[in-house]
Amino acid sequence: MTLSPARLDRFARHIVLPEVGGAGQVRLAQSKVAVIGLGGIGSPALQYLAASGIGRLALVDDDVVDVSNLQRQTIFTTRDVGHGKAVSARRWLANFDDALSVDVSDARITADNAPAMIAGADLVLDGTDNFATRLAVSDACVAAGIPLISAAVGRFQGQVGAFAGHLPGAACYRCFVGDAFDAEDCDTCADDGMLGAMAGWTGTFAALQAIKVLLEGVSTLGAPGWGQLHILDGLGPAMRTIRIAKDPACRACSSAA
Ligand SMILES: [Zn+2]
């Protein structure tokens, strides 16, 4: 694959980085990322994933844009209120860069349909807001051998983790949270509140980690950091990193150990 002169111009600031380069940019153009959840994390993540020239995107969200989303879900505008998030995200993407190919789904992701939603992806970025969905996405990623960047945010704290449970010695998201949350347990931000820019920091940091994973082996941007969970504190501000160990009893990934 070679990049056209127009694409070389568009991504010139990437290509000049020794840590990305032309080979890295080609890798991004050949990559497919599934973004699950187009809310406070998925919106800014999608903006930077699309801006980085990732060639194929699959967007999944069953929700409709509400006026209260606009304080942090940066791809949506007042005109999108009442419209589906998935189709509104596709509209944003078409305006932003029509060279990128996009699949959208407005189905609610479940354990049954998650494998189809992420099929063919090189990486999944999950920014959904409940444990049942996150676990369904994680289990599907382990089964399909697809790396997962899982991100969450509330109030002034964000979390971004890189999981590759299909690899020996690497934890999956279920190793982190266990089985207790399989029930529908929505840790919604409606009651607790959330600073919009905090979702932006968490979402864009998730996009950065995703790009690192995609460029593994063709660039020197850094290791994916499997099993590392970065905790972002917006009040400090501060960031710390904890390590999630693979759970030998994990029912999603232990057989892959
Ligand atoms: Zn696991």
How many angstroms separate the alpha carbon of residue 225 from the centre of ligand 1?
16
Ligand 1 center–CA 162 separation, angstroms? 12
Q: Quick one: pLDDT at residue 181?
A: 64
Name the pTM for this structure: 0.95
Cα 9 to ligand 1 centre (Å): 42
pLDDT the model gives residue 156:
94
Q: Residue 219: what pLDDT?
A: 87
Q: Is 189 a catalytic residue?
A: yes
pLDDT for 192:
82
pLDDT of residue 12: 98
Q: Pick from 252, 119, 229: which is nearest to 179 by CA? A: 252
Distance 256 CA to ligand 1 centre (A): 9
Residue 148 CA to residue 145 CA, distance in Å, equals: 9
Beta strands in the chain (DSSP E): 32-36, 56-60, 101-105, 123-126, 148-154, 157-163, 228-233, 238-243
| Model pLDDT, residue 188 | 58
CA torsion 153-155-156-157 (nearest 10°) is -40
pLDDT at 15: 97
The reported pLDDT for the residue numbered 182 is 57
The ranges of the chain with pLDDT < 50 are 185-186, 256-257
Cα distance from N-terminal residue to C-terminal residue, the chain: 35
Residues 216, 221, 225: CA angle, nearest 5 degrees: 65
Residues 6 or more apart in contact with residue 249 via CB below 8 angstroms: none
Catalytic residue among 172, 175, 186, 189: 189
Q: Which of 109, 15, 112 is nearest to 63 (CA)?
A: 109
Q: Look at residue 208 in the predicted model and tell me its pLDDT.
A: 97
Q: Which domains can be identified in the chain, with CATH numbers?
A: 5-155+178-225 (3.40.50.720)
